[in-house]
Amino acid sequence: MRPGRCPPAGRDPGCGTRLRADAGGAGFGRLRPAPGRAALRRRPDPGLAADLAVALAVELCSWRLNLAADLARAGLDDLTRPLDWLTRAATRFTPAAAAAADCPLALHRAGESAVLPRRVWRAQLATFFPTLEEARLALIDRHRPRLRIDDHLRALGATSVEEIELGALCHQLRKALDRREAARLEILARLRNRLAHRQPGAPEACLSLLAGST
């Protein structure tokens, strides 16, 4: 995230020290508010939903601490449709006159079609990728004897079953999983594919992952 300039004191009640993410490599890491600013209240549902709430507050809301605190308390529907939440927030909060390049409300009002989805994508990537990877590796460990490196995977550069992605696991395990497991794996594969292409996940897929983590 680019450093943003905070409007002069007194112009915006949400102005404060910018939230930041401590990345642990490849864009992933533990997200936390900047020291001295308790912008986010503790959620009653710790876990993946809480992680997504904080990640979205950091990435989408930037230094707008009033927006960040509001989003951090949001329900699952808002967390999986954060741009719809932002549309409603625009009726309750005022865009910042200064630092409009970082203010999500100013970007929303300007009709920015790329910046805001990219912020949502970053938050989802940081939150969901570790869970998706854990699910992928667990499936490989569980079904290793059934897995193989076929010509298609070999052409993609795969040399061991540990490299099989969720989409290929859907294909190879379609007869080994029950209907519920197969449906969930397909959802995870679609979510992983969208994140790999720098697109936010579909709300239904995000909601399924969050519901399955509780």
Instruction: Check whether residue 32 and residue 63 sit in a common domain.
Output: yes
pLDDT of residue 211: 87
Q: Considering the entire predicted model, what is its pTM?
A: 0.77
pLDDT of residue 99: 57
Number of domains in the chain: 2
Instruction: Check whether residue 55 and residue 97 sit in a common domain.
Output: yes
pLDDT of residue 18: 36
Instruction: Check whether residue 88 and residue 149 sit in a common domain.
Output: no
Torsion of CA 93, 201, 196, 117, to 10 degrees: -20
| 56 domain-assigned | yes
pLDDT of residue 95: 77
Instruction: Check whether residue 29 and residue 105 sit in a common domain.
Output: yes
- Amino acid identity, position 172: Q
Query: Can you give the residue range of the structural domain that contains 89?
Result: 20-118
Instruction: Check whether residue 83 and residue 61 sit in a common domain.
Output: yes
- Amino acid identity, position 174: R
- Walking along the chain (214 residues) 10 residues at a time, the average pLDDT comes out as 37 37 35 41 70 92 85 92 94 72 84 89 97 96 95 93 96 94 96 97 96 68
102, 100, 96, 71: which is closest to 84 by C-alpha? 71
| 123 domain-assigned | no
Among residues 98, 118, 138, which one ends one of the domains? 118
pLDDT of residue 131: 95
Instruction: Check whether residue 82 and residue 159 sit in a common domain.
Output: no
| 206 domain-assigned | yes
| 6 domain-assigned | no
CA separation, residue 137 to residues 15, 134, 141, 162, 166 (Å): 42, 5, 6, 7, 9
Among residues 118, 143, 163, which one ends one of the domains? 118
Among residues 50, 84, 118, which one ends one of the domains? 118
How far is C-alpha 72 from the chain's CA centre?
Answer: 13
Place of tokens 């790999």: 196
